């Protein structure tokens, strides 16, 4: 079990820094938005230190006492902006650097907040000072301090009200400084000046966790780094400071890979629960090594893997025993009865249950899992089980009243009396069929974990890079995805006696998948990329949220073209990020980038950034729902803000720095996408300032193109609950009615 951890103190702050008067709307989210978001943080059941100025003090107090009336868990410190440590130490120096002609002449992204507004940097750099003050006082006797931005929780308040947070676990609360990051392998190749001037953001400044005994160390490191950048005449966001401190002091840190604002959900899961995983080893000892390695890499529970040795012969028995000794895994030797594969499997499981699992107290979740199931993405069994007492992959039978815990993957919580649990097979099901009686006897409501009916590994549906997997393939090479996070090899024990080359070839595919699935812009999330298995009899009208699903790989191969559409070029920030970090784009890809703002120069930007190395076409049109003309509004002090937009979207009412407007040509984006062939692989980045709602809705209404493999969208204005509801509706419809992966992007 994990180490004992006392309380965690959440630390945050909100100061007036003139956001409502900023000229650059791209970073000028108004004060009202932050006041709305901070209510979510204030509604949490947590120990909270909140630093504030006079401008926000009464508002923060008003909303916190709704949830902590006597302020028993809250300290609100009112400290004037000018009295903050980083203001007194660095404001003058930073201001001089940021206003100097030398600094201004070298700017690449002129509308970024961190190169225009000194107070923005002061508040962000001062986060560690706020944390240090909370640590020095430590009213709640905390071992850890969790910095959380005032505006970092942006969903409906019902997701936060009175929720105990964070859930303390050794996954996020250990001896390291924890940073949430867009990558878990941060490397900086650029020199310091160019990196700070870029829009590359790897570590997120929104939230981080520091142990009490590391606060002073981190405080000194950040102070020293700010000293250095002022002396060197380099200024960038606090994220850049964290990036550099990480690469130079990796022993102090641990990165947790995630998207923007995902830290709340990640720290809402109890990963201290003890999970014991029972898996039967029959003929593939090498699977033990790989399964254990993948579990250690991706399972965020406190787990133990237990091997049920049901070896087919003495040679395999010896190999299984040796592997268990090497990895210090508990091994249970079950009676061998190999006449019938199904009988052999249930006999081994029942032996382990009756003699070990049912007698084991202190276990929170018992898992039965095939030994050819391999995690490929971070997960917890706790989240897969949810609030149910039991969970499993669903297996449909002709009699739809049959619901049983299939041993491919099933979970039983300690809320259930397992004394009568039995994995004996039945003729109308298979191994595990008798658990149908168990479910009905206790009136259990299983959580059916989504899984694919089949992944058809055929010539047209497989990673083919470097010919790592030979051809041809047949449908018998099918595999499965479980819960959007595990790969089920299928037929791993060779119970149907496949030829030797079947497994040698398929094992290569397994290894290639585990190491490369994410590089192709695929997000095999449990919400998406599942197509209802229409071949299953009587499935029409069934609840889409569970039952069987099917996914077919349709990744780039030599017969397909790859297309990237960059909607909203601006200064090439997003395009640069996708080319260098997100997609495996090379000179074989066809790239189209759109920028209708005539005050921008995307042609020069593309040329200077990419040279002649990529096939990029620049379009000076606005993407829209029709062909023709439209009015394009320019925002920012010089009209080049990232917030410039099509006026008929209505988004302009959210911005206060209008510059000018002019007529531009617009194109029907759906028609543009439809010019590409169905077999082409189209990937889209969409950052188009409020136009996303009209365009996505238009595409859904008129017929979503089948060739769009993945789309990244920045949704604007979601601090407004009505807009957030519109976003959620679009995301839901794309995920449930198309084969496209859609992901929020910032």
Q: Where residue 205 falls among pLDDT bands split at 50, 70, 90?
A: very high
Q: Where residue 552 falls among pLDDT bands split at 50, 70, 90?
A: very low
Q: Rounded distance, CA 621 to CA 593, Å?
A: 10
Higher pLDDT, 465 or 310: 310
Instruction: Give the pLDDT mean for 353-358.
Output: 95
Res 549: pLDDT:
33
Tallying the residues shown for the chain, one arrives at: 746
Mean pLDDT of the chain: 82
503 pLDDT exceeds 90?
A: no
Count of CA atoms in the C-beta half-sphere (13 A) of 196? 25
- Give percent of the chain with pLDDT exceeding 70: 84
**Tokens read off for 247:** 């690469």
Q: Rounded distance, CA 558 to CA 461, Å?
A: 12
Res 154: pLDDT:
87
| Number of Cβ within a 10 Å radius of residue 199 | 18
Least confident of 60-74, 227-241, 349-363, 524-538: 524-538
Q: Where residue 61 falls among pLDDT bands split at 50, 70, 90?
A: very high
Res 115: pLDDT:
83
Three-state DSSP at 671 gives: helix
Q: Where residue 652 falls among pLDDT bands split at 50, 70, 90?
A: low
Q: Which residues are paired to 120 by β-bridges?
A: none
462 pLDDT exceeds 60?
A: no
Give which of 11, 84, 14, 85 is closest to 55, Cα–Cα: 14
Query: 18 to each of 21, 22, 56, 541, how far by Cα in Å?
Result: 5, 7, 13, 53
Q: Where residue 741 falls among pLDDT bands split at 50, 70, 90?
A: confident
Res 23: pLDDT:
54
516 pLDDT exceeds 50?
A: yes
Q: Rounded distance, CA 337 to CA 100, Å?
A: 81
687 pLDDT exceeds 60?
A: yes
Query: 184 to each of 170, 241, 250, 251, 727, how far by Cα in Å?
Result: 18, 17, 12, 14, 28
Least confident of 104-118, 388-402, 464-478: 464-478
Task: Please check whether residue 252 is in contact with residue 176, taking contact to mean a CB–CB distance below 8 angstroms.
Answer: yes
Three-state DSSP at 713 gives: strand
Task: Please check whether residue 9 is in contact with residue 146, taking contact to mean a CB–CB distance below 8 angstroms.
Answer: yes
Q: 515: part of which helix (H) or strand (E)?
A: helix 500-516
511 pLDDT exceeds 60?
A: yes
What is the sign of the dihedral through the CA atoms of 99, 102, 103 and 105?
positive
Q: 164: buried, middle or exposed (CB in 10 Å: 19+, 13-18, 0-12)?
A: exposed
Q: Which residues are paired to 665 by β-bridges?
A: 629
Res 655: pLDDT:
55
Domains in the chain (CATH in brackets) are 7-266 (3.90.550), 274-550 (3.90.550), 562-744 (3.40.50)
Instruction: Give the pLDDT mean for 658-674.
Output: 88
Higher pLDDT, 580 or 223: 223
Res 30: pLDDT:
65
Res 539: pLDDT:
30
Res 504: pLDDT:
73
Q: What is the DSSP letter of 357?
A: G
Task: Please check whether residue 37 is in contact with residue 160, taking contact to mean a CB–CB distance below 8 angstroms.
Answer: no
Give which of 158, 149, 32, 31 is closest to 725, Cα–Cα: 158
Higher pLDDT, 628 or 106: 628
Q: Rounded distance, CA 226 to CA 553, Å?
A: 48
When mean pLDDT is compared over 101-105, 246-250, 715-719, the highest value belongs to 246-250
Q: How far from each other are the two terminal CA atoms of the chain, in whole angstroms? A: 37
Res 119: pLDDT:
94
Task: Please check whether residue 391 is in contact with residue 449, taking contact to mean a CB–CB distance below 8 angstroms.
Answer: yes
Instruction: Give the pLDDT mean for 313-317.
Output: 94
Q: 438: part of which helix (H) or strand (E)?
A: helix 435-441
692 pLDDT exceeds 60?
A: yes
Instruction: Give the pLDDT mean for 156-173.
Output: 88
pTM of the model: 0.55
Res 548: pLDDT:
33
Q: Rounded distance, CA 206 to CA 181, Å?
A: 10
Res 195: pLDDT:
79
pLDDT one-digit tens code per residue, 570-621: 888 888 878 876 777 878 889 999 999 888 888 988 888 888 888 999 999 9
Q: Rounded distance, CA 732 to CA 729, Å?
A: 5
Res 473: pLDDT:
39
Res 550: pLDDT:
35
Q: Where residue 496 falls among pLDDT bands split at 50, 70, 90?
A: low
- Give percent of the chain with pLDDT exceeding 90: 45
Q: Which residues are paired to 448 by β-bridges?
A: 392
């Amino acid at each position: 079990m994990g180490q004992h951890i006392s309380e965690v103190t959440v630390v945050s702050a909100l100061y007036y820094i003139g956001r409502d008067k900023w000229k650059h709307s791209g970073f000028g989210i108004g004060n009202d938005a932050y006041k709305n978001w901070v209510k979510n943080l204030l509604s949490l059941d947590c120990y909270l230190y909140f630093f504030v100025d006079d401008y926000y003090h009464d508002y923060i107090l008003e909303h916190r006492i709704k949830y902590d009336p006597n302020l028993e868990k809250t300290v609100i410190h009112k400290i004037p902006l000018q009295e903050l440590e980083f203001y007194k130490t660095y404001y003058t120096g930073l201001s001089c650097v940021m206003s100097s002609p030398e600094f201004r002449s070298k700017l690449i992204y002129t509308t970024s907040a961190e190169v225009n507004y000194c107070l923005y940097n002061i508040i962000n750099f001062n986060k560690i000072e706020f944390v240090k003050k909370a640590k020095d006082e430590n009213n709640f006797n905390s071992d850890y301090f969790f910095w959380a931005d005032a505006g970092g929780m942006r969903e409906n308040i019902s997701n936060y009200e009175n929720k105990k947070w964070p859930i303390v676990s050794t996954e996020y609360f250990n001896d390291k400084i924890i940073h949430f990051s867009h990558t878990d392998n941060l490397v900086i190749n650029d020199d310091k000046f160019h990196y700070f001037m870029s829009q590359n953001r790897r570590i997120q400044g929104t939230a981080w966790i520091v142990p009490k005994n590391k606060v002073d160390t981190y405080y000194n490191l950040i102070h020293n780094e700010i000293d250095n950048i002022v002396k060197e005449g380099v200024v960038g966001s606090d994220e850049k400071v964290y990036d550099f401190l990480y690469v130079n002091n990796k022993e102090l840190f641990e990165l947790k890979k995630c998207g923007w604002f995902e830290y709340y959900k990640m720290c809402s899961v109890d990963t201290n629960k003890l999970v014991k995983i029972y898996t039967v080893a029959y003929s593939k000892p090498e699977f033990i090594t790989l399964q254990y390695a993948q579990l250690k890499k991706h399972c965020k529970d406190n787990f133990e893997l237990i091997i049920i040795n049901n070896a087919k012969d003495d040679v395999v028995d010896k190999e299984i025993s040796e592997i268990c000794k090497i990895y210090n895994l508990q091994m249970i030797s079950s009676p061998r009865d190999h006449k019938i594969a199904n009988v052999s499997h249930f006999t081994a499981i029942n032996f382990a249950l009756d003699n070990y699992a049912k007698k084991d107290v202190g276990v929170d979740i018992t898992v039965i899992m095939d030994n050819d199931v391999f995690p490929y993405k971070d997960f917890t069994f706790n989240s897969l089980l949810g609030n149910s007492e039991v969970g499993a992959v669903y297996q449909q039978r002709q009699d739809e009243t049959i619901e049983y815990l299939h041993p491919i993957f099933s979970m039983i919580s300690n809320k259930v009396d397992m004394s009568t649990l039995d994995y004996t097979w039945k003729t109308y099901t298979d191994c595990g069929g008798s658990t149908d009686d168990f479910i009905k006897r206790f009136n259990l409501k299983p959580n059916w974990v989504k899984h694919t009916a089949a992944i058809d590994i055929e010539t047209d549906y497989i990673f083919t890079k470097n010919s790592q997997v030979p051809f041809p393939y047949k449908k018998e090479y099918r595999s499965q995805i479980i819960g959007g996070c595990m790969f089920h090899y299928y037929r791993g024990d060779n119970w149907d006696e496949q030829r030797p080359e079947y497994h040698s070839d398929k094992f290569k595919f397994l290894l290639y998948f585990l190491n490369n699935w994410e590089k192709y812009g695929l997000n095999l999330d449990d919400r998406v990329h599942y197509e209802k298995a229409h071949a299953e009899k009587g499935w029409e009208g069934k609840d889409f949220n569970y039952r069987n699903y099917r996914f077919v790989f349709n990744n780039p191969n030599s017969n397909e073209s790859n297309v990237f559409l960059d909607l909203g070029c601006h200064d090439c920030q997003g395009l640069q990020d996708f080319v260098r970090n997100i997609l495996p784009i090379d000179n074989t890809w066809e790239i189209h980038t759109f920028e209708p703002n005539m005050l921008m120069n995307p042609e020069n930007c593309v040329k200077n950034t990419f040279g002649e190395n990529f096939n990029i076409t620049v379009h000076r049109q606005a993407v829209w729902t029709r062909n023709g003309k439209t009015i394009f509004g320019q925002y920012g002090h010089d009209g080049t803000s990232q917030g410039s937009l099509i006026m008929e979207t209505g988004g302009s009412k959210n911005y206060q720095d209008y510059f000018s407007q002019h007529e531009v040509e617009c194109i029907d984006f759906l028609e543009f996408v439809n010019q590409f062939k169905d077999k082409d692989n189209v990937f889209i980045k969409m950052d188009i300032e409020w136009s996303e709602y009209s365009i996505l809705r238009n595409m859904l209404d008129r017929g979503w193109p089948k060739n769009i493999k993945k789309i990244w969208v920045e949704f604007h204005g979601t601090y407004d609950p009505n807009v957030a509801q519109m976003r959620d509706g679009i995301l839901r419809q794309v995920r449930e009615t198309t084969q496209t992966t859609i992901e929020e992007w910032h």
